[in-house]
Amino acid sequence: MKKVLLIAPPFYRLMGSHFNGLHLGISYIAAVLRQHGYDARIYNADYLNSSKYANQRELFNSFSTYKATLADLSHPIWREIKEKINGFAPDFVGIAMLTANYAATRNIARLVKEIDQGIEVAVGGTHVTLDPEGVMSTDAFDYGIRGEGEFTFLELLCGQDKSTIQGLSFKKDGRIIHNTDRPFIQDLDSLPFPARDVFLNSTEGMEFGNIITGRGCPFTCAYCASPRLWHRQTRFRSIPNVLAELEHIKANYRSTLIHFADDTFTLDKRRTREICQQLIDRGLNINWVCDTRVDRLEEELVILMKQAGCVRIKIGVESGSNRILKRMHKGITTEMVRKAVKLIKKHDVPITAYFLAGFPTETDDDLRQTIDFARELNLDYYSLSIVAPYYGTELWREMEKSGERPDKPHWEYFYHQSQEMILNNNISPGLLEEFFSLNELGKGGRV
């Protein structure tokens, strides 16, 4: 039986924090591989058995630590990773890659090759999908898996002719070859539930409650790569399939909180109402949080969500300047935000709001409007970020076209809570510090 190790690279651990949540992408892949007879395991290298997380200001101020840990391959984190790989002795390794953990992914691939040059390494995820040529130029990566990876990975392991595998990038005779894209999986119910029982590391303190009820997003926010990734298409699991997974999680794992990880959980309000009604009718009695947009809420729905166990709603506000919201292609106004926040507060559901600073052309006046607006809203939790022009976003393309593309030596600088991403010289440092102090207005803790 071929042994496969799927790795989530360290990221927050490199800054002195951690991430104990379920990585849905590799968990789905592990489930499909196991279904077909492979010994697939997951190693979350960002895991730490701790309930204390760094706050956003601490993360913002720890970027120098992050860079130093990345460069120091004698650091205990990298030694631990090498020991885990050695101990499992995989035949094949898959690594989940985002733009910001590009360097960590490369480090792991090189550690794998130090152990055994014969172990093949595949990388998949957002950055591979958007920049396969750049990624495959790295010597330690044998394969790039673009788009949804479940069946591309399976066909690769099965020994199918590489030239026929859709969604695969690979190397042959010194050349990088990109096969045609794989069509999106239309029947999401055909996938097994994500594997939550195949972890190599300890699961003490692991958060198994992440679940996604659909894939894709129809919106066109300029700072987000989703339009390129999903082509503005959305696909949904059936409601019985979603409820079956929730019952499975409750019966088998000690998660006290479910996180619906859909980009916009209330995108189809009729469907969301049905999910909520089913949660109530089945007496599942679970607490849950979700992300959504202020223009996809209405009073009847918020009432039902609370009755069904919703304990927090996360909304994208982004800016208090209508000029910047328009530039972001967010499709909302500050007045729409006010109405949504008033509605949610009316029914006593806690709110997390996402805010961004540093969008191109943003001025001190724009950011002052954001700070004042955030204070006016008087929210429970504030998630604060610097605008990062991630590869594949409209923002990236605009900056590249205008010659303003960030001149950064490595992709690891592209992180939305990195000091290196302060690219807008129109904003005063003191005002940026005031922006990050908003985190102290809410209840604190994780957002």
How much is the average pLDDT of 176-195? 98
- Angle at Cα 364 formed by Cα 442 and Cα 377, nearest 5°? 30
Question: CB of 266 within 8 A of CB of 301?
Answer: yes
Burial 248-270 (b: 16+ CB within 10 A, else e): ebeeebebeebbbbbbbbbbbee
The predicted model gives 35-56 an average pLDDT of 88
Taking domain 209-440, whether its CATH number is 3.30.1360.120 is answered by no
CA distances for 113 relative to 25, 109, 120, 122, angstroms:
24, 6, 8, 12
Range scoring the smallest mean pLDDT among 101-105, 244-248, 268-272: 101-105
Q: In 226-346, where does DSSP find H-type helix?
A: 226-230, 239-252, 269-281, 299-307, 322-327, 334-346
Q: What is the largest CA-CA distance in the chain?
A: 64
Query: 3-178 adopts what CATH topology?
Result: Rossmann fold (3.40.50)
Please determine whether the domains at 3-178 and 209-440 fall in the same fold group of CATH.
no
Percentage of the chain with pLDDT > 70? 96
**Which pTM value belongs to this model?**
0.95
Six-digit token pair at 371? 């700070």
What's the token pair of residue 89?
């002795």
Kindly report the backbone phi and psi dihedral angles of residue 199, in degrees, each rounded to the nearest multiple of 5, phi listed first: -80, 135
Question: Is the distance from CB of 311 to CB of 347 less than 8 angstroms?
Answer: no
Q: CA 333 to CA 319: how far, in whole Å?
A: 9
Structure tokens at 225: 């790569």
| pLDDT one-digit tens code per residue, 378-436 | 999 999 999 988 888 999 888 888 777 666 556 666 777 776 777 788 899 999 989 98
What's the pLDDT at 413?
67
Contact 95, 142 (CB under 8 A): no
Amino acid at 272: T
Number of H helices, E strands in the chain: 17, 15
pLDDT in tens, 277-332: 999 999 999 999 999 999 999 999 999 999 999 999 999 999 999 999 999 999 99
Domain boundaries of the chain, sorted by first residue: 3-178, 209-440
Q: Are 244 and 275 in contact (CB under 8 A)?
A: no
Q: Does position 238 have pLDDT exceeding 90, yes or no?
A: yes
Note the pLDDT of residue 16.
Answer: 83
For residue 42, what pLDDT band results from cuts at 50, 70 and 90? very high
Backbone φ and ψ of 3, nearest 5°: -100, 130
User: Could you count the other beta carbons within 10 Å of the beta carbon of residue 433?
Assistant: 11
Query: How far is C-alpha 417 from the geometric centre of its chain's CA atoms?
Result: 14
- Residue that has been written with the tokens 């093949």 in this structure: 120
Place of tokens 């885990």: 84
CA dist., res. 334 & res. 322, Å (int): 6
State the CB neighbour count (10 A cutoff) for residue 376: 12
At 65-113, the pLDDT tens digits run: 888 888 889 999 999 999 999 999 999 999 999 988 999 999 999 999 9
Residue showing tokens 């002195």: 16
* Residue 397: closest CA among 145, 220, 133, 215: 220
Residue 444 has pLDDT above 80, yes or no: no
Q: What angle, 0 to 180 degrees and rounded to 10, lies between the N-to-C axes of helices 239-252 and 269-281?
A: 40
pLDDT of 78 reads 96
Burial class (CB in 10 A: 0-12, 13-18, 19+), 115: middle
Q: Which two tokens stand for residue 363?
A: 């001025």
Average pLDDT, integer, range 185-208? 93
State phi, psi for 300 to the nearest 5 degrees: -55, -40
Strands 214-216 and 234-236: antiparallel
User: pLDDT tens digits, residue range 337-360?
Assistant: 999 999 999 999 999 999 999 999
* pLDDT of 60 above 80: no
Rounded to a whole number of angstroms, the CA Rg of the chain reads 22
Three-state DSSP class for residue 210: strand
The whole-angstrom separation of Cα 253 and Cα 207 is: 9
Integer CA distances (angstroms), 73 to 10, 70, 79, 107, 211, in order: 13, 7, 8, 8, 34
Q: Rounded CA gap, 330 and 381, in Å?
A: 21
* Distance between CA atoms of residues 36 and 46, nearest Å: 28
| Integer Cα distance of 99 and 406 in angstroms | 14
Using alpha carbons, select from 226, 263, 42, 44 the residue that is nearest to residue 147: 226
Q: How confident is the model at residue 70, as a pLDDT? A: 87
- Residue 143: pLDDT band by 50, 70, 90 thresholds? very high
Q: What is the identity of the amino acid at 158? A: C
Cβ-contact 299, 343 below 8 angstroms: yes
pLDDT value of position 121: 98
Three-state DSSP at 354 gives strand
